[in-house]
Amino acid sequence: MFSEEIRTMVFFGAGMMTLISAVLIIFFNNLLHSAVALFFTLVGIAILYILLGADFLGISQVLVYAGGVLVLIIFGIFLTTPHVDELGSARKSIATWITIGFGFLLFRLLAKMILQMPWVTKIPQSRPTINSIGNLFLSKYLLPFELISVVLLFVLIGSILIIRKDLRR
């Protein structure tokens, strides 16, 4: 689908966008700024999926995450934060920097494991995936598919019950 150079360039750009905006979430104190950074992270991940040849997954990532979960989070911010600007202190405490240091050590460990492993891979070729995914949903993964719809129903009812004004009245 793509030539080698274009794929490498798009991968680099999307990966950089994902990582930089994810790091920015750590350093933003304003909740709305964090939500916008999260949006760019999710869109970057969708581009990475499409580069792998998983087109349906990329589309559903944009639809569900950037269109659903993120809007839900922004609704939560607007409903709970009276003054968005004056939230949190801009100063990073020493514990934050210690946590970032430990996170860096954990990443070094994971990266060492990943780079030592001799992976046998092939370059993914892109085919239309929707047919196969639909077949798998209704054949091999039928039970998880039905279970997850029941889970969604329960979460819907449970959220409404939790958020109701007063149960006794």
**100-159 binders of other proteins (CB under 8 A):** 100, 103-104, 106-107, 110-111, 114-115, 119-124, 129, 132-133, 135-137, 140-141, 144, 148, 151-152, 155-156, 158-159
Which is closer to other proteins, CB of 160 or CB of 169? Answer: 160
CB 27 within 8 Å of CB 89: no
Answer for which of 15, 17, 36, 40 binds other proteins (CB under 8 A) is: 15
CB 58 within 8 Å of CB 47: yes
The closest of 108, 124, 106, 112 to 11, measured between CA atoms, is 124
Answer for which of 90, 95, 138, 143 binds other proteins (CB under 8 A) is: 95
Classify each residue of 144-156 as buried b or exposed e, where b means 16 or more C-beta atoms within 10 Å of its C-beta: eeeeeeeeeeeee
Q: Which of residues 18-37 bind other proteins (CB under 8 A)?
A: 18-19, 22-23, 25-26, 31, 34-35
